[in-house]
Amino acid sequence: MSRSPAETRARVEKSLRGRYWAERRFRAYGLGAVLLGVLFVVFLFGTIISKGLPAFRQAQVTIEITYDPAIIDPEGKRAPEALASADYAAIVRASLRARFPDAEGRVAGRKVMGLVSNSAASVLQKRVIDDPKRIGTKERVTVLASDDVDQLLKGRIDRTAPQEERPIDDQQLAWIDALQKDDALSLRFNTVFFTNGEEQPHAIKSLPARFDASGLATEQFEATSKDGTKIPYFVTRPKKLNGPAPTVLYGYGGFEVSLTPGYSANFGRQWLTHGGIYVVANIRGGGEFGPAWHEAAVKKNRQRAYDDFAAVAQDLIKRGLTTPKQLGIMGGSNGGLLVSAVMVQHPELFGAVVCQVPLVDMIAYMHIGAGASWEGEYGDPAKPDERAYLLTYSPYQNVKKGVKYPPVFFVTATSDDRVTPVHARKMAARMEEQGHEVLFYENTDGGHSAAADHKQSAEMWGLSFVYLAEKLGLKS
């Protein structure tokens, strides 16, 4: 049925009116969304400004500092290391006590130090390092106040509250009032936001160097384990070293313990500075790459840790860093189990072994010391399937007469109530009975560390490194 021109026009106009209305509604929605967004932005910036504005004002304390040479540089050599490691906190404490003579005793000393930020010491350190001529002089220095003092001055701590209900006690309030009266404490514009943005980190305090590490370098390599897994390890050695050298390979590989490069006075002073190489293996069973790295070598998969360690040893030899006669291995506790197991499985790879406070009898271990608590790590030999895989690597059950093993030094302690000396005693006795070269040392004290104090520790490590030096040919 055909429509008249008037009807068609009316339908078109109706359709256009609907479209125009839809467009106006859409524009209204869009405008509303924009306005809402603007309101959110205004609210956001308002919140940032209202909350963050107090940060631009920081409580600062001005104190008279005496740069006491007896504390900063008692030898008077102005050595950079001495200036960097001086006890600048003691300088701050002495200056505050000079300002407040009633701050006597340890408790009052801690309270008076609670007036200033922990950064005060680093401020003094930087000033001395920048100009050592300050040593032996006095000057007024402005440092940041502590957080509690800052919050008090900003009205966020009620000074009228009972003393036990506020972080600042009455004596500290009296000191704060005295500082404010002398215009030595106030809220000031915090220029740190603008002046320290690109400042490089600098040392605040450090222990003295135990050996000269300037001639050493640390590198990371990878070995390929028996199942194809890449096993990283770190090598620290003298930079000028050419050719293979006596090497100590250290490992642990258990209980999700991570071995990472670190400063070792023992290895540095007694091994590296004499021309030796020190290697740390990041084998499975440890925690270097998270729980999965640990779980990959527990219970029935324990052999993976030993394969990883052997792979690192083989890689060191392949790279020409050492030779089997020059390669020694060291480990303690679970690491003692590691080195004794790998020694039994790959005797041809090593020239010496130092086995410290070890587990070695994995069939009886749950009845010795704290062994029952490690079932989740190794398994239960009372269960036939778990006993079967424990028997495949347990050093005590696998060491054999007639096999040429590298010489081994067992270190343990009578007072070790964790692993106990029983494991080391049994293994040393069996190997000696079988005709192998064994050296055994049992300290009376020291527990699982096999050393009760620094003197005993020095003796234990000294024995270990002298043993390795003699067996691996390290020339001092």
Inter-CA distances, 97 with 59, 75, 244, Å: 20, 25, 59
The bridge status of strand 327-332 relative to strand 247-250 is: parallel
DSSP single-letter state for residue 278: E
Residue 390 belongs to what H/E stretch?
helix 384-393
Looking at 294, 448, 449, 464, which residue is catalytic?
448
**Which letter, b or e, does each residue of 90-115 get, where b requires 16 or more Cβ atoms within 10 Å of its Cβ?**
ebbbebbbebbeebeeeeeeebbbbb
Neighbours of 347 (CB within 10 A): 17
Residue 140: φ, ψ to 5°:
-90, 125
Nearest to residue 356, comparing CAs of 439, 282, 285, 273?
A: 439
Identity of the amino acid at 423: H
Looking at 117, 225, 333, 449, which residue is catalytic?
333
Beta bridge partners of 413: 443
Let me know if 333 is a catalytic residue.
yes
Q: How far apart are CA 348 and CA 250, in angstroms?
A: 18
- Structure tokens, 363: 């069939």
Let me know if 448 is a catalytic residue.
yes
**Which letter, b or e, does each residue of 432-466 get, where b requires 16 or more Cβ atoms within 10 Å of its Cβ?**
eeeebebbbbbbeebbbbbbeeeebbeebbebbbe
DSSP single-letter state for residue 406: P
Residues catalogued as catalytic: 333, 448
